[in-house]
Structure formats: C-alpha cells, structure tokens
Amino acid sequence: MIARVPSHRLVRLVLAVLVGIGGVLSPVGGPGVESVAAASPTPTAPMTVRFEAGDHTGYTFNLPTGAVTGSKQATIGSRSTAQTTQRASIPGRGVHLRISTGTFAGYWVPETIVAHVIGIVGQRTFTPPRAISLPIGRIVAYRFDSGWNLVAAPVLTLTSPSSATASKSAVIDGMLAYWITSGPFANSWLPSGGFHVARTLACHTSPRAGGGTAIWSRLTSAGPEVALTFDLGGRTEPGLAIAKRLLLYGVCATIFPTGDTAASSAGNEILEFMDTFPGVFEFGNHTKDHCDLVNGGGDTGCPATRGSAAFVQSQLTSAGSTITAVTGQTTTPYWRPPYGSHDQAVRIAASEVGWKKTVMWDIDTIDWRPPPPTDTGPTTVQIVNKVVSRATNGSIVLMHLGGWNTYASLPSMVHGLRGRGLTPTSLSDLADGS
C-alpha cells in the first residue's frame, strides 16, 4: 500500500519545482551497493571533478588487489575542480576517481558527496529491465534537466514493501540512482540505498515532542543523531538554496523563522517551498520581532526595556499564527529565544501559550557573521570542522538560513557527520530517539 504524503492543502503526490542546483546525496560503492565501474581501471576521456570545501584524502593503491600503498590529506578552502582520466571500482573500497590535475594529481579519491564527476557518469543499461525494491518508509525521487539540475522531487510514503522497474543506473553528481520506468516514480531517478534497493529517508519530523517544559541544549539520551536547526530572520539569502540542498541530501531539519521574516516575500517563498516537504522540514518559533525578551532592545521596533509576560506571549502567538498560515504546521512546542536570552519568567510565559521546549544549542556555527575581509565570521572549512568534530549523540547545531558560508559548508558537514555514524536530522527525530 502506498500512502501519499499529506499537505495542509490537500493529499497529494508532491512534485515540487526546484531551480538551478545539482544534487548529491550519498557515497557510491561500499558494501551492498552496486559496482558502477570496472575493477581494472582503464583510461577514459578527461572529466571534470568537483571538490567541495573541506578535508579530503587521496590514495595510491596496489591494483588490482586494492591494497593502499600511500595517501595524501589536504584541506580545500572553497569549492574547486580538477580533472580525472580514470574512474574505477577499487576492490573492497568502492568507486574512486584518479585525479590528474591539482592538489591530488596522481591520487585516487573516493567518489562521494564531496568529490564527484560533475553531471552524469557510469551509465549502465539493464537488459532486461530490473526490479528495484521499494522499502517501507518515505522515498524521494529526482528529476533533472539537461544540465543535471534538479527540477522536481516526487515524494511518497510507503506503508508496505513494493517494487518498480528500472531500465538503467547511473551516477549523478556522486549519487548512484536508478531510472524508473513504472509506477508512481516513473520517469524519475531513485537514489540507491543498496543493491537494487531504493533509498528511504533516514530521518523524520514527527511526532513532535510531548511532555512538560524543558530547556534543550543537547539531548543526552538521544541516539546517534544530530539536529540541524536554522534560524530565519533578517537576511534571507541563500535560504532557499539551503533548503533545496538539504532536500537533495535527504536531510531533515528544524527551522525557526521570525514572524516578520515569514511574512516577507522572500521568507514566504522559503516557507512555501518547505511546506511542500512536511516530512523533511518542521518549524519552531523565533518570535515576531526578534527582541531580547530579558534585557530589552534587539531589532528595530523592540522596546528598550524588558517587556511583560503578555509581550512575550504576543511575540510568540503572532509569529506562530503567521508561520502556520504559510506552512500549515504548528510551531509548538519548539521556540528559540532571540540572542539565546531567556530566564524562568520568560519560559513560564512561553509555556503558558504552548511553547514548552526552549531550544538552545551545544554547537554555534556563528554563521550569521560575515567572514573576512568584511568581518571575523567563520570560513566554510571552519564551520565544517566545528560541527563535524564537536557533534555527538543528541547535539543541536545552530545555523541560519541567511548564514554567509552555510550553504557551502553543507556537503562536507553532512558527509562528515554521516562518516562518523551520526544522522543529521530534525529536533522531533532527535527527541523521538531520546
């Protein structure tokens, strides 16, 4: 049985139109994943490889055994490209690219979310067509234009196992996927979650946390999951691009908009997009005006001194109504105090009107601050290293949809967290596992 993903507007198959961003979602190769190239590497025509910002490792191998004979580590400060003339499935190590230019010239690098041939590579035709297993869970497929930019993302939730027919497989920007020719995912690429198995999302956004009041900085009783949370207030770029990149990577997240930004045209566009994928994005409350609720002051229009309990409540109820009107989702019980400023009186006022979980963080990326030479904010690599090195079970990461290097940090951040066995996800998912 296939249950369609609900929207507050209607029950439907989601076909959300995206623009201009190519997608990579998971590493290729490894146990249980179909080999996509010959084990004995042979030269091919030069292809362009994209390296995302972050730490990378290249290897030399004793072929065809796959034994490592050397390695090289280097940090790439910003997205860059190199050339490869060989692509092969190294025995026991997955698909690698032999780099012929740049920092890793002469080394093989794993084909992953952070290092891959741009566009499509490794096409294999299935004769006859093959059955692809569709497991229970939420499945997202992808449709690309001729430039391999994503243009649509059908989403379904399966309540019982099913199957679909695939005529071919290929790697698209580092993602091994099957071209589906039958069923609700026909004419779409399904990411591989194993040998002839579609990938299901490893995260969710419901049910929302219940229970009493609490202050969350890290959920120490959670499993190997990390909540990615994004505030939205003031600067809105590149918020929509960040949302699309999270969808492409199969990452659930919790968004804390201010009411004023949610009501703006740019904020409304971001929330409308996220509303199309309620199983991927959920919302909390960041107040209407982003005022300091303890000390007074803050953004334009905030009172200079501390407001009353009624003021706190009006800030939350006004923002909550605006966000719900756009997304169809409640923001209760999650709220994030502007500037992280709260005390017992503020928390009591918030809980009385439904916002019982005061959400703080244990990892602050400080991505709202512009990087040098404008200011002293973090570089892309600094954001990646901070999150990946400090994250642990139940961590809550603070980022901003208007963050300066947030978009560029996501590939290596997501890849690094998953490489450590940590699933980037939403607050509800984190709480559900605690």
The tens digit of pLDDT for each residue in 170-195 reads 998 888 999 999 999 999 999 999 99
Structure tokens, 274: 């996220």
CB 192 within 8 A of CB 34: yes
Task: Evaluate if residue 11 carries a pLDDT over 60.
Answer: no
Cα 394 to Cα 46, 62, 80, 96: the distances in Å are 43, 40, 33, 33
Task: Evaluate if residue 10 carries a pLDDT over 70.
Answer: no
When pLDDT is averaged across residues 62-80 and rounded to a whole number, the result is 94
Q: Which of 35, 51, 33, 183 is nearest to 107 (CA)?
A: 51
pTM: 0.90
When pLDDT is averaged across residues 25-44 and rounded to a whole number, the result is 43
Task: Evaluate if residue 301 carries a pLDDT over 80.
Answer: yes
Give me the sign of the Cα torsion angle 355, 334, 394, 204.
positive
* Higher pLDDT, residue 404 or 42: 404
When pLDDT is averaged across residues 282-292 and rounded to a whole number, the result is 98
Q: Where are the beta strands (DSSP E) in 173-224?
A: 175-180, 188-194, 197-198, 214-216
Task: Evaluate if residue 9 carries a pLDDT over 60.
Answer: no
Q: Which of 159, 146, 161, 153 is nearest to 185 (CA)?
A: 153
Query: pLDDT tens digits for 77-126?
Result: 999 999 999 999 999 899 999 999 999 999 999 999 899 999 899 999 99
Terminal C-alpha separation, the chain? 30
Structure tokens, 350: 């918030």
What integer pLDDT is reported at residue 135 of this predicted model? 96
Q: Any idea which residue has 């509800």 for tokens?
A: 428
Instruction: Name every residue whose Cβ is closer than 8 Å to that of residue 146 and which is 6 or more positions away in sequence.
Output: none
Looking at the chain, how many residues does it have? 434
Q: Any idea which residue has 């509303």 for tokens?
A: 275
The DSSP-derived string for 124-143 is EEEEEEEEEEE-SEEEE-BE
What integer pLDDT is reported at residue 32 of this predicted model? 31
* Higher pLDDT, residue 221 or 28: 221
Task: Evaluate if residue 1 carries a pLDDT over 90.
Answer: no
CA gap 254, 361 in Å, rounded:
13
Structure tokens, 407: 């978009």
Percent of the chain with pLDDT over 70: 90
The region of weakest confidence among 1-15, 141-155, 211-225 is 1-15
CA gap 58, 421 in Å, rounded:
21
CB neighbourhood size of 421 (10 A) = 8
Instruction: Name the pLDDT band for 63 (thresholds 50, 70, 90).
Output: confident
Helix orientation angle between 344-352 and 309-327, rounded to the nearest 10 degrees? 50
CB 220 within 8 A of CB 394: yes
What integer pLDDT is reported at residue 148 of this predicted model? 82
Query: pLDDT tens digits for 253-283?
Result: 999 999 999 999 999 999 999 999 999 999 9
Percent of the chain with pLDDT over 90: 81
Task: Evaluate if residue 369 carries a pLDDT over 70.
Answer: yes
What integer pLDDT is reported at residue 25 of this predicted model? 36
When pLDDT is averaged across residues 28-51 and rounded to a whole number, the result is 58
What integer pLDDT is reported at residue 41 of this predicted model? 60
What integer pLDDT is reported at residue 433 of this predicted model? 82
Query: Helix %, strand %, coil % for the chain, to 5?
Result: 20, 35, 45
Instruction: Name every residue whose Cβ is closer than 8 Å to that of residue 35 and which is 6 or more positions away in sequence.
Output: 29, 89, 95
What integer pLDDT is reported at residue 175 of this predicted model? 85
Share the mean pLDDT of the chain.
90
